[in-house]
Structure 1
Amino acid sequence: MDDQHRAENGKRSDGTAVPAHPSVLDSVVVYAAGAVCRRRARVALPPGGRLRLTGLSQVLDGRSLRARVLSGPPGTAVTEARLEPVAELRAPDELPELLSRLKDAREHESAVRERQRLAFDAIAETSALRAVPPARRKDEPLRRTPADAWLELAEFLDERLTRLQLRVEELTEELERAEHATATLTDLVERASTAGPTRPVETSATVLLTLTTPDTAAPATDTAPDTDTEVDIEVEYGVPAARWVPAYRLSYQQGSDTGQLVLRASVAQRTGEDWTGVRLALSTADLDRRTDLPKLRSLRIGRSQPAPPPSGWREPPAGLGDLFTGYDAVGPRPEPRRHGPVPVTAAVRPRPAHPAPPAAPAAPGAPRPSSGRPGGARSADEPLGFAGYGGPPPQPGGPLPPPAAAAAPAPPARRSRAAHGAIESTQVAFAAEYGGAAAPPAPPAPPAPDATLLDYPSLVLAGPDEPAARRGTLHPPAPTQPASATGATGVALTGLPLPRHAVPPRASAGSFDHRFDAAAPADIPSDGTWHTVTIGEIPVTVHPEYVTVPSVEEKVYGTLVLANRTAQAVLAGPVEVTVDDEFLLTAALPTLAPGGTRRLGIGVTESVEVARRTELHESTTGMLNTSTVLDHRVHVELVNRLGHAVTVEVRERVPVTSDTEIRIEERADWHAPAVPSPECPPSSRLWRVELPPGGRAELDGGYQIKIPAGKAIVGGNRRN
């Protein structure tokens, strides 16, 4: 026990301290929410094989801690990695200068506010000054007060109030300046990096490693290996407070069929450590997503059969309680000394809401009732509780308590056969005591643990301090409180506002995950704000086209048709468009899958003009004029005033009907979209026109609607 206690406190068996070595952050992989950091340290192989690495983030997830040996003597490996917090005392000069300045600013603001309050109190006291005449004696005539005294008193009050009012104005201006300085410093502190120390006493995270080599049979032997031998160790851990969104910059030169699309990610992190000169990678995967395969149960037709017990689970082994016999023999752990009076409490059962009827007189020689009845005393072998503990006991001859609430048994998933037998005997004893009919015990159901007991990575082994029914067995961990949004334990950046047109990577990646590696080391401070990092270049094919819908608006819009010819997806996000080295706008780039093609709008092009005219001719046809013919004609004119040829796509629309008596005939050379979309529904019709520099084009189209003579189109026969 002594050796174990010293080892737990960072010491070897000989009492010497475990050597501590700093680690350097080498690479970071940022996921959709969270990140995985890898630190490296090259240290000399310590005697005994135990060492401590410092510099880890305080908000790391202890479940994700991993360590391995990258290089060193053959056979060297990490057999244990334990996360241990270490308290550190900071000198005042080690704290950030912003914190000391903010403290001084708050003290100055408080002092100015107090001086302003005293000045207001002085004004109130001066304003309350009044001349009080002396008490008049008996039979003394009235005395006149000289006017000069009243005037001198008024002048004194006026002069003093003037000085105090000027002082209040000065203090008010000084207080406004102090409040502004305090607010400015507070904002700077909130935006500053959280990597440095912020309190005089802080807790830093360290990892205690145990190494084994072929030269050392055990990690704690007295045989010391060669201290000149160095090993390269890598420590990996996950941090929750990190996220990223993609951003792009598109450069295009007119006349070229290719463009330069640069991926620039916006990364934010508040992990308590600055990422300086790290190899950065971005992933769209979910860091906390489960990776186990789902089970597809078979469907059988026939007689019902009991479900087979799930594999991978078994009841606790026999004799598990004997494992802690030595621990129980030592006695209870001593209580820590408390300062001040210790409250004395007692467990008192509350009085029942409805008093129980008086018990029937017992026969001579009959046993006394147990404590379950009013006025009775509990026997030595009586259970401590029953259903509804704290409420009224069950009445004689009344219904028995439900088995699910009896005697606080262990959960069904962890209950052994002995526990089932104890519960059944307890129910029979209750039935015999209160006069109820003892129902025959039902056969015990096979154990059926829930899904939480089969999640082995998250189960926690209950220690000897747990209740006897739990210790030595695996249980789901107790729920923990979420970290504070402003505390030193980190923040969840889910509430951080996204940049304009930004889309979370999980929303745009779909069912596939992608990883992007930065081409150069990156620097990202731990301040919880967005920082732009250039990841790399994605070659895309760019073809300019112009689109117009003259039936809605007689304007021509410029677009860039992007084609992704790489094996890597382009996620949705904001893109800064630059044409001929001139910035145009920041647009929203849609998700571009490998081999996909999407259109990106860049605004109205004033140099390409469009005009549209429509005509309607209504006539009748048939031998008895039984049909009405509505002839719609569309005329579109295009003019190109640019210095280069352009391709214009003109979009029109035709009516559709589901009535068999209505016929629609088109008379134009347009065509329907190959793949209908929300932008181009099936009723759309397209023209594609090539216009040379200064060229002009005229397009004629139309359609005829034939309806019965006695009917009319809802909304009028004129459709344009």
Structure 2
Amino acid sequence: MDDQHRADDEQQSDRTAVPAHPSELDSVVVHAVGAVCRRRARVALPPGGRLRLTGLPQVLDGRSLRARVLSGPPGTAVTEARLEPVAELRSLDELPELHSRLKAAREHESAVRERQRLVLDTIAETTALRAVPPARRRDEPLRRTPADAWLELAEFVDERLTRLHLRADELAEELERAEHATETLADRLARSSTAGPARPVETSATVLLTLTAPAPANSRPEDTAPAPAPEIDIELEYGVPAARWVPAYRLSYQQGSDTGRLVLRASVAQRTGEDWTGVRLALSTADLERRTDLPKLRSLRIGRSQPAPPPSGWREPPAGLSDLFTGYDAVGPRPEPRRSGPALVGAAAPLPRPVPPPAPMAPGGAPLAGGTRGGVQAFEAPAPSLGFAGYGGPPPAHPGAPQPGAPLPPPAAAAAPAPLGRRDRSARRSAAGGAAEAAFADEFGAAAAPPAPPAPPAPGATLLDYPTLVLAGPDEPAARRGTLHPTAPTRPTFTGSTLSGLPLPRHAVPPRASAGSFDHRFDAAAPADIPSDGTWHTVTIGEIPVTVRPEYVTVPSVEEKVYGTLVLANGTAHAVLAGPVEVTVDDEFLLTAALPTLAPGGTCRLGTGVTESVEVARRTELHESTTGMLNTSTVLDHRVHVGLANRLGHAVTVEVRERVPVTPDSEIRIEERADWHAPAVPSPECPPSSRLWRVELPPGGRAELDGGYQIRIPAGKAIVGGNRRN
């Protein structure tokens, strides 16, 4: 017991001896889901080469933790970075003001509710007041009821109920106001930043760094004053899951100009437990969880199967590993630690280590290495555990097999049949078949085939991932202690860690859906401030130079109105991702539209609404006749007349869209008589049957467009429902 307390005291003193230094958030790269944060700290080089950095959020992914020395004495490097939780005690003054206000509001609401309950109980008691006459004896004559007493009692009850009901109404209004105040404060607290402390006792994340310090220079004997410790600049890099971004834009255009100003304004939301204040912000469309390993193309062999060569990185188990803990076992069971009081503030409580799932068993009783991928258990050759310094340890024995040095089970227990799985039954049938073949060979004198050599043990992929291996201590089972075993990775749990339930702004598109197979990065031009409240915040990233050309489009056969559009051309090397765009024309806000993805060198058309100053009118004529010597063909002559008028003070370009009929019948001929043209690239807006006019109208100018087509139908062909006329 004393040894245990002495070890705990030494651990606590070692923890407090390591100097702690704060770190500041320097830059953040927000990905499609998640973000990569970089912190910097300038500290003096500790004499022992160990220091602790504080200020990290609790939801960081420990697998992504990286540390390096940016500047310092030559030879200084980080050899180990370990993430350790530390419990901290907060006073009431350090908690946010909203917490104390919400607590006071809830106490006030509870007090008002209790007063209302007492008043309602008093009303019920007063309402139940009744005059009870005294009991009459048998020989006593009937007595007259005093009416004045009844009236006084009724007046008393009525007056008291009036006052109580007024008080109940006042308390009901006060309770309604108190509930509203509590709900408002609770909503504000839910929407507030999660960076500050929320509870009196919290666990904060710290990083314990081990540095390699350079050798001290030879000092002269007369130099008695110690030299000051040199300063080093350390950078920490880690990933956080609770961050998202979607692109948004602002387009400014001046009429009469051929260029516009497209500003990228991203909407960023994060709930990482720390406020991003004055950080260098960058946006990336890449996925943090994307695959990086190349697929392996294995060779196809015809013939007997050959065992795969064992991977490098492991060695055979050392001899006498089981004798290493003989002295520990001879001492006896370990005493339980004494729990006399609460844990010391600032000490990191040991976290429960997750127990790995039991490994699948081979027919021989050895577990099979491998992992579960895609819901299917991948089995490999039996894999030994790794021992000290990378040496392989003995493979774990079957749970039912006797441990080394343990007494053998009694015969009855040993003979008890165990339930067999599919692999065990297959192995038993294979063994029975082999015995039958050997007996057949002995009986008929045939030479029995030599037994196949056992396959060499090969560790699985999990046993070669050395950062995730943990050395089993002496308290583990005899088959595990002294060897390295993989543990399930512990990931931080946080409510809404990916902000998947956060609704997107209108017209917003996730960057992974609009970027396609390419990844882009956009760096903000100025530092940004984004609180950790889980709501969208608009941040200006930079300006994208685009070419803007105004055009007007009309479809007079459907609607005699002219619509204004802006044709955007992207001449940069970066793609313009899809998202909402606020259009401003002549410094006046016009509308918010959906901007499609614009690849480098691509163009798109953005509608701005109906333009009343450009007029359009359309009229049609139809002439029906027959041709041929025997009137064997019907000719339908369609003529289209479109008139345009420009009432604006500058020249405009108008695109008029018409249509012609199409037919799969080769005997029906359609002849066009106009100077229009078909669209170069058909689209849902302009199908192949569309025909386009492009007209330049000067200020106050007019234009008349004439077009048409003829449909020649043989007499043997008839249109169902008669000839269609516009």
Q: Does the residue aligned with 1:413 lie in a helix, a strand or coil?
A: coil
Worse-matched range after superposition: 657-666 or 274-283: 657-666
What amino acid maps onto 1:484 in structure 2? T
Q: Does 1:644 align with 2:611?
A: no
Find the aligned partners of 2:616 and 2:455 in 1 and give their Cα distance: 79
Which residue in 1 is equivalent to 2:350? none
Label 1:612 to 1:242 Cα distance change in 2 as closer, same or farther (>3 A).
Answer: same
Find the aligned partners of 2:595 and 2:178 in 1 and give their Cα distance: 46
What amino acid maps onto 1:284 in structure 2? T
Q: Deviations over 1:348-378 (max 9, x none)?
A: xxxxxxxxxxxxxxxxxxxxxxxxxxxxxxx
Label 1:324 to 1:562 Cα distance change in 2 as closer, same or farther (>3 A).
Answer: farther
Q: Deviations over 1:392-437 (max 9, x none)?
A: xxxxxxxxxx9978969555436259979989999x9889999x98
Q: Does the residue aligned with 1:241 lie in a helix, a strand or coil?
A: strand
Label 1:432 to 1:68 Cα distance change in 2 as closer, same or farther (>3 A).
Answer: closer
Does the 8 A contact of 1:460 with 1:477 survive in 2? no
Aligned length: 641
Worse-matched range after superposition: 498-507 or 410-419: 410-419
Find the aligned partners of 2:454 and 2:690 in 1 and give their Cα distance: 66
What amino acid maps onto 1:165 in structure 2? H
Q: Does 1:621 align with 2:627?
A: yes
Q: Does the residue aligned with 2:676 lie in a helix, a strand or coil?
A: coil
Q: Does the residue aligned with 2:321 lie in a helix, a strand or coil?
A: helix
Find the aligned partners of 2:10 and 2:662 in 1 and give their Cα distance: 80
Q: Does 1:439 align with 2:406?
A: no
Which residue in 2 is equivalent to 1:463? 472
Q: Does 1:178 align with 2:178?
A: yes
Label 1:154 to 1:594 Cα distance change in 2 as closer, same or farther (>3 A).
Answer: same
Q: Deviations over 1:578-608 (max 9, x none)?
A: 1111111111111111111111111111111
**Alignment equivalent of 2:574, drawn from 562, 568, 571:** 568
Does the 8 A contact of 2:59 with 2:493 survive in 1? no
Q: What does 1:177-576 correspond to in 2, within 5 Å? A: 177-215=177-215, 226-297=227-298, 303=302, 306=305, 309=308, 312=311, 317-319=316-318, 322=321, 325-326=324-325, 329=329, 333-335=334-336, 409-410=367-368, 412-413=379-380, 415=382, 439-440=432-433, 453=462, 456=465, 459-461=468-470, 463-464=472-473, 472-475=483-486, 477=488, 482-485=493-496, 491-576=497-582
Does the 8 A contact of 1:458 with 1:476 survive in 2? no
What amino acid maps onto 1:280 in structure 2? L
Does the 8 A contact of 1:672 with 1:684 survive in 2? yes
Task: List alignment gaps of at least 5 residues for structure 2.
Answer: 218-224, 341-359, 370-378, 385-393, 403-413, 421-427, 435-450
Find the aligned partners of 2:199 and 2:213 in 1 and give their Cα distance: 40
Does the 8 A contact of 1:193 with 1:525 survive in 2? yes
Q: Deviation of residue 312 (structure 1)?
A: 3.9
Does the 8 A contact of 2:192 with 2:533 survive in 1? yes
Does the 8 A contact of 1:10 with 1:208 survive in 2? no
Q: Does the residue aligned with 2:183 lie in a helix, a strand or coil?
A: helix
Report sequence identity in percent. Answer: 76
Find the aligned partners of 1:700 and 1:628 in 2 and give their Cα distance: 23
Q: What does 1:587-606 correspond to in 2, within 5 Å? A: 587-606=593-612
Q: Deviation of residue 193 (structure 1)?
A: 1.0
What amino acid maps onto 2:302 in structure 1? R
Find the aligned partners of 2:19 and 2:339 in 1 and give their Cα distance: 35
Q: Does the residue aligned with 2:211 lie in a helix, a strand or coil?
A: strand
Which residue in 2 is equivalent to 1:366? none
Label 1:450 to 1:324 Cα distance change in 2 as closer, same or farther (>3 A).
Answer: closer
Q: What does 1:85-124 correspond to in 2, within 5 Å? A: 85-124=85-124
Find the aligned partners of 2:319 and 2:665 in 1 and give their Cα distance: 80
Q: Deviations over 1:271-313 (max 9, x none)?
A: 1111111111111111111211223456x6x835637637747
Label 1:170 to 1:689 Cα distance change in 2 as closer, same or farther (>3 A).
Answer: same
Worse-matched range after superposition: 552-561 or 461-470: 461-470
Which residue in 1 is equivalent to 2:222? none
Label 1:672 to 1:460 Cα distance change in 2 as closer, same or farther (>3 A).
Answer: farther
Does the 8 A contact of 2:676 with 2:693 survive in 1? yes
Q: Does the residue aligned with 1:532 lie in a helix, a strand or coil?
A: strand
Which residue in 2 is equivalent to 1:17? 17
Label 1:606 to 1:237 Cα distance change in 2 as closer, same or farther (>3 A).
Answer: same
Q: Deviation of residue 611 (structure 1)?
A: 1.7
Q: Deviations over 1:117-172 (max 9, x none)?
A: 11111111111111111111012111121211111111111111111100100000
Label 1:459 to 1:210 Cα distance change in 2 as closer, same or farther (>3 A).
Answer: closer
Does the 8 A contact of 1:409 with 1:423 survive in 2? no
Q: Deviation of residue 569 (structure 1)?
A: 1.3
Q: Deviation of residue 460 (structure 1)?
A: 4.0
What amino acid maps onto 2:212 in structure 1? T
Q: Deviation of residue 614 (structure 1)?
A: 2.2
Label 1:475 to 1:316 Cα distance change in 2 as closer, same or farther (>3 A).
Answer: farther
Label 1:634 to 1:325 Cα distance change in 2 as closer, same or farther (>3 A).
Answer: farther
Find the aligned partners of 2:303 and 2:395 in 1 and give their Cα distance: 28
Label 1:451 to 1:265 Cα distance change in 2 as closer, same or farther (>3 A).
Answer: farther
Worse-matched range after superposition: 207-216 or 540-549: 207-216
Does the 8 A contact of 2:650 with 2:698 survive in 1? yes
Label 1:620 to 1:80 Cα distance change in 2 as closer, same or farther (>3 A).
Answer: same
Find the aligned partners of 2:656 and 2:605 in 1 and give their Cα distance: 15
What amino acid maps onto 1:483 in structure 2? F
Which residue in 1 is equivalent to 2:671? 665
Label 1:672 to 1:6 Cα distance change in 2 as closer, same or farther (>3 A).
Answer: farther
Q: Deviation of residue 635 (structure 1)?
A: 1.7
What amino acid maps onto 1:415 in structure 2? P
Label 1:524 to 1:685 Cα distance change in 2 as closer, same or farther (>3 A).
Answer: same
Q: Deviations over 1:594-644 (max 9, x none)?
A: 111111111111111112222222222233333222222222111111111
Label 1:207 to 1:458 Cα distance change in 2 as closer, same or farther (>3 A).
Answer: closer
Which residue in 2 is equivalent to 1:717? 723
Find the aligned partners of 2:382 and 2:626 in 1 and give their Cα distance: 89
Does the 8 A contact of 2:507 with 2:579 survive in 1? yes
Which residue in 2 is equivalent to 1:69? 69
Label 1:149 to 1:530 Cα distance change in 2 as closer, same or farther (>3 A).
Answer: same
Q: Does the residue aligned with 1:34 lie in a helix, a strand or coil?
A: strand
Does the 8 A contact of 1:540 with 1:562 survive in 2? yes
What amino acid maps onto 1:292 in structure 2? D
Does the 8 A contact of 1:564 with 1:597 survive in 2? yes
Find the aligned partners of 1:163 and 1:429 in 2 and give their Cα distance: 88
Does the 8 A contact of 1:501 with 1:588 survive in 2? yes
Label 1:226 to 1:205 Cα distance change in 2 as closer, same or farther (>3 A).
Answer: farther
Find the aligned partners of 1:118 and 1:433 in 2 and give their Cα distance: 68
Q: Deviation of residue 319 (structure 1)?
A: 4.2
Does the 8 A contact of 1:452 with 1:476 survive in 2? no
TM-score by length of structure 1 reads 0.81
Does the 8 A contact of 2:54 with 2:205 survive in 1? yes
Find the aligned partners of 1:523 and 1:263 in 2 and give their Cα distance: 17
Label 1:320 to 1:183 Cα distance change in 2 as closer, same or farther (>3 A).
Answer: farther
Does the 8 A contact of 2:366 with 2:382 survive in 1? no
Q: Deviations over 1:154-213 (max 9, x none)?
A: 111111111110010000000011011111111111111111111111111111111112
Q: Deviations over 1:81-103 (max 9, x none)?
A: 11111111111111111110000
Find the aligned partners of 1:641 and 1:45 in 2 and give their Cα distance: 76
Which residue in 2 is equivalent to 1:585? 591
